[in-house]
Structure 1
């Protein structure tokens, strides 16, 4: 206001312009500061992520690290999988952590877009190892077990050949250097990439544990036979029947026939001799094969196991049932029902039941 008490619009305009200038300057300075901060932060993030990611990663991913891979190869694999941004960052993380000698092979559960140091920590943590499983059913041959590994893990023929030919410390001396019968059938956890010889070694060690549990050597001696003969008997049992309740009876039939000087005449041994699979019956031509494994042509047990028996078959071979049965036949291949007989006449009646089942199921090609 002027001296007369009236509004002085000139002064009001002056002060308004001054206030506006101050506010404008503050806005410019404030906006500029934010702009500078934003640009600086952007530059920092770009610098940090030029060769490495930041954060906790994104979606899950599995990466297979081969045996003998060094930090560079592992870094390349992780980069290709989108786990890390650069091999250089991973090598630096390995060097900083002094972890060059701690890197392991296997399949690992990781995440995409991880900092290299975090990826390294996850690789060194056993909790992130993805273990595969492989199952070898009871009564499978060594060749069938190898085929399972080849199909499931894609192992090479050369690796399988090596696994079949090398010497194993865990193989019992009474095995005579043969793997058949001693690569214990079970489900095993394996680390990829799978090395067949490593799996075989694990199977042999498991056989040793089961043999010790069953007191195989001392009980074989008490039966008046050898451990190798027991394993051979068990391999026939495992190939003939799958029901554990029937296995001691089959063991008794084998021992009863041997004690009477009868030929075993087990079709399973003929299958092994001629390399036939998928059928339970044999042809007249099959039964004429001269192989020492053909128990239609040669008396006594075959020279070695014809398959790999599990614990129940081994136990049955050591603890045969008390029976005078000399024959058996599985009359229903779906249920596994097996009938036993002490006379040829009883056996013929049981065989007719089997033949009836075969006639009713001839389109399945099992008989």
Structure 2
């Protein structure tokens, strides 16, 4: 009951200063009292309003206090991050000292190389190197490089992005013989010749496919190999053979005895001419001669059997029937390929050009110009042209 009385006076009583006369300025009579229900409603609204204001005040205080806390924490985070970044990109001023032999492996990215450089004490931080690689959009070449300790990251990149500064890379070229490839591999890798000889004498056991018949000739894929980064002669030989097999599979070369035959024909074409335009015709000459049971009569095979260059073949060599690679006296193909043929020669052996040629002769040894003939008389004219060129260019 007392609450109702208080509500009544709160809502309807208007205090005036003493001496002013009547309530409401004397112009209006006092308003009638409200119902109890409406007074309760008013009282509830006031309470809700006060509660809402309290919540707003609390929220504002929380935001101020919390914002200050998180703001301080964020500032600490930014400061710590900058400190970390500053430490991460720490770099040596260079130029460095001493000597470090450093190998970049095939397929390694900038991050892996950077981590290895830090471990080798070449650079101060991995981030210093990766950032300079990214900024220059540089390419890192595989190989073995000579660096120093405590080098500036930019100086290291200058070395690792220059393929000419890479050591220990073996370049296998189309037309090279196995003996030349192994000689280079020994020199570049530092692995003893005896290790390679043992593999050759064991006929490539565990490395060569069965159709190679124990001979590496023709089964080393031309290309570049990081032999300095390989641990043994076996690793080097296997890498070259595996790439050769993969390439032959990609080219669609039949397996088994047919694969070896293709390799032999391709190796002769590779050795006989130096222009890809002629490979298809040379392989056709070989096929035509085989079909007609003619001796191939190739200087390149005779030279291989005597371990000399084709230009050094003598009449005695041509008449020597003890040389299984002498295709002047022995009909059919030689026992093995005589070099490592490239893709063009292999594809030509797979798909010889159409023609009835039985002879060919390179008439200009400077340009490699080669002429093909279907008869012995026409071939003799081409040989005479070669002899005249030789006489004019001695």
**TM > 0.5:** yes
Instruction: Render the CA deviation track for 1:10-58: whole Å, top value 9, x for unaligned.
Output: xxxxxxxxxxxxxxxxxxxxxxxxxxxxxxxxxxxxxxxxxxxx97262
Q: After superposition, what is the alpha-carbon deviation per residue over 1:118-154, rounded to whole angstroms, capped at 9, x for unaligned?
A: 9xxx9xxx99995643212211110111122234455
Q: Which has the larger radius of gyration?
A: 2
Find the aligned partners of 1:148 and 1:55 in 2 and give their Cα distance: 38
Residue 235 of structure 1 is matched in structure 2 by: 267
Q: 2:317 aligns with which of 286, 311, 318?
A: 286
- Alignment of 1:141 with 2:177, yes or no, is yes
1:188 aligns with 2:235: no
Kindly state the Cα deviation for residue 254 of structure 1 after the two structures are TM-superposed: 0.3
Offset, 1:281: 5.5
- Following the alignment from structure 1 to structure 2, what is the Cα–Cα distance between the partners of residues 332 and 127? 41
Following the alignment from structure 1 to structure 2, what is the Cα–Cα distance between the partners of residues 308 and 55?
Answer: 47
Q: Which residue of structure 1 aligns with residue 301 of structure 2?
A: 269
CA 1:62–1:320: 2 relative to 1, 3 Å: farther
Q: How many residues align?
A: 261
1:254 to 271, 276, 286: 286
Please list, as runs of the form range in 1=range in 2, the aligned pairs for 1:326-337 lying within 5 A after superposition: 326-337=358-369
Alignment of 1:76-225 (within 5 A): 107=144, 110-113=147-150, 132-165=168-201, 167=204, 169-192=206-229, 195-217=232-254
Native 8 Å contact 1:63 1:107 kept in 2: no
Q: Does the 8 Å CA contact 1:331/1:350 hold for their aligned counterparts?
A: yes
CA–CA distance in structure 1, aligned partners of residues 368 and 328 of structure 2: 24
Aligned to 1:58: 94
Residue 169 of structure 2 contacts residue 225 of structure 2 at CA under 8 Å; is this kept in 1? yes
Does the Cα contact within 8 Å between 1:64 and 1:193 map onto a contact in 2? no
Distance 1:301 1:199, change over 3 A: same
Q: Which residue of 2 aligns with 1:358?
A: 390
Q: What is the TM-score normalised by the length of structure 1?
A: 0.63
Deviations along 1:334-359, whole A, 9 cap, x unmatched? 11111100011111111111112222
Superposed CA RMSD in Å reads: 3.4
Report if the CA contact (8 A) 2:253-2:350 is conserved: yes
- CA–CA separation in structure 1 for the residues paired with 2:313 and 2:147: 52
TM-score w.r.t. length of structure 2? 0.59
8 Å contact kept, 2:230–2:236:
no
More divergent stretch after superposition (315-324 vs 289-298): 289-298
In structure 2, how many angstroms separate the alpha carbons of the residues matched to 1:322 and 1:230?
Answer: 17
**Alignment check: 8 A CA contact 2:175 2:341 kept:** yes
User: Shift of residue 299 of structure 1?
Assistant: 0.6
Mapped contact 2:325–2:335 kept (Cα < 8 A): yes
Would you say the 8 A contact 1:331–1:338 is kept in 2?
yes
Does structure 2 retain, via aligned residues, the 8 Å contact 1:64–1:192? no
Question: C-alpha offsets along residues 224-248 of structure 1, whole Å, 9 cap, x if unaligned?
Answer: x721111111111111112111001
